Amino acid sequence: MKKIILFTLVQLIIAGMCLNAQKLVLKSGTMDFLKGQQTLLVKYDYSNIAVGKFDKEEDYVTNKVADYNKDEAGKGDKWKTAWYGDRPVRFEPKFEELFNNYAKEKNLACGQTGTGANYEMLVHTTFIEPGFNVGITRKPAYINVVVTFRELGSDKDVAVVTVDNCPGRDAMGFDFDTGYRIEEAYAKLGKALAGFIMKKI
């Protein structure tokens, strides 16, 4: 019993360290341009992503598909569909939901239609750690993202924010699904980025 309690405590400490490692940095520009703005056009970029130990997402996907199909015919192909399909269906709506919820104190909201927007926010995911949960042990997912702000119609950056080690996990331990863990990382990203911006404007 003591070993189980000790193991659980170690897991909680490791998870806490992962959660506390998140870092947001304003790499260039200021957020002053957002003062008085009410709408941001948001776009997403998933090019050149590294995943886990793989430098190229394509290699990660190929490896996972082969492994899953080896276990059960068609399972890997189904997983691949979900891997890419979760982006517009789960990750992006969750990011926007949390961003808008925490940015509403300044009457700011983002969306992919961006009606009335003067600026765009490009959310470029550069790294995904999918994490895992096998019951007795687990590792949170996390993402690294570069967020670039530009005036619409211009290719000049007005501000760039980097977000490293943005974690995704379920506090109750029910995050067995990879897509759910990554979805929670995008939720955390939306909340953290909005909070960061609110402090700057």
Does a structural domain hold residue 73?
no
What per-residue confidence (pLDDT) applies to 178? 84
Task: Classify residue 116 by burial, with Cβ atoms within 10 Å: 0-12, 13-18, 19+.
Answer: exposed
- Where residue 165 falls among pLDDT bands split at 50, 70, 90? very high
State the average pLDDT over residues 158-174: 80
**pTM (predicted TM-score):** 0.86
In this predicted model, what pLDDT tens digit does every residue of 5-17 receive, in sequence order? Answer: 333 333 444 444 4
Does a structural domain hold residue 138?
yes
In this predicted model, what pLDDT tens digit does every residue of 135-162 receive, in sequence order? Answer: 667 678 899 999 999 999 999 999 999 9
Does a structural domain hold residue 84?
no
State the average pLDDT over residues 77-83: 96
What per-residue confidence (pLDDT) applies to 26? 97
Does a structural domain hold residue 113?
yes
What per-residue confidence (pLDDT) applies to 140? 81
> Is residue 3 predicted with pLDDT exceeding 60?
no
Look at the chain and report how many structural domains it folds into.
1
In this predicted model, what pLDDT tens digit does every residue of 47-79 receive, in sequence order? Answer: 999 999 999 999 999 999 999 999 999 999 999
Q: Which residue has the tokens 């897991």?
A: 11
Q: Mean pLDDT score of the chain, rounded to an integer?
A: 87
Does a structural domain hold residue 111?
yes
CATH number of the domain residue 6 falls in = 3.40.50
Give me the domain span that covers residue 179.
2-55+91-200
Closest CA relative to residue 145, chosen from 159, 164, 130, 169: 164
What per-residue confidence (pLDDT) applies to 133? 67
Does a structural domain hold residue 76?
no
Does a structural domain hold residue 131?
yes
Confirm if 23 and 146 have CB atoms less than 8 A apart: no
What per-residue confidence (pLDDT) applies to 19? 43
In this predicted model, what pLDDT tens digit does every residue of 107-121 receive, in sequence order? Answer: 999 999 988 999 999
Does a structural domain hold residue 83?
no
Closest CA relative to residue 99, chosen from 13, 39, 165: 39
Cα distance between residue 48 and residue 66, in whole Å? 21
